[in-house]
Amino acid sequence: GSFDEAIRGCEGVFHMATPMDFESGDPENEVIKPTVEGVLSIIRSCAKAKTVKRLLFTNSAGTVNVEPQQKPVYDEDNWSDLDFINSTKMTGWMYFV
């Protein structure tokens, strides 16, 4: 895969990037699918390397705190309210799911 050489010999991989396009007319094909394919390619390269012990995948804060009322504290049990996101038709919604 396209990440094989970059990952070869690594013990840890930090994935902290994604395609960004807040004005996409076709977010499914221009943002979501390339993002998923990119993550899968990184995972495949990690498996192929046979040296990677940990893969750390980060995401947008939007995955946990987009809702009508903000909470004072967020933890691993909190996720954005998809119904709220869909009903308000927010710019950049694809980064919150």
Predicted confidence (pLDDT) per residue in 54-89, tens digit:
999 887 777 788 888 888 888 888 888 888 888 887
Q: Is residue 25 within 8 Å of 19, Cβ to Cβ?
A: no
In this structure, the chain runs to a length of 97
Best CA proximity match to 46, nearest among 79, 8, 83: 8
CB atoms within 10 A of CB 66: 22
d(CA 40, CA 31): 14
Amino acid found at 91? T
What are the distances in angstroms from CA 30 to CA 3, 14, 25?
20, 23, 8
Question: What is the number of structural domains in the chain?
Answer: 1
Per-residue pLDDT tens over the stretch 2-33? 999 999 999 999 998 777 777 788 888 988 88
Per-residue pLDDT tens over the stretch 32-54? 888 889 999 999 999 999 999 99
Residue the block writes with tokens 């046979």: 50
Question: Could you tell me the residue range of the domain that residue 12 belongs to?
Answer: 4-95
Q: Which pTM value belongs to this model?
A: 0.70
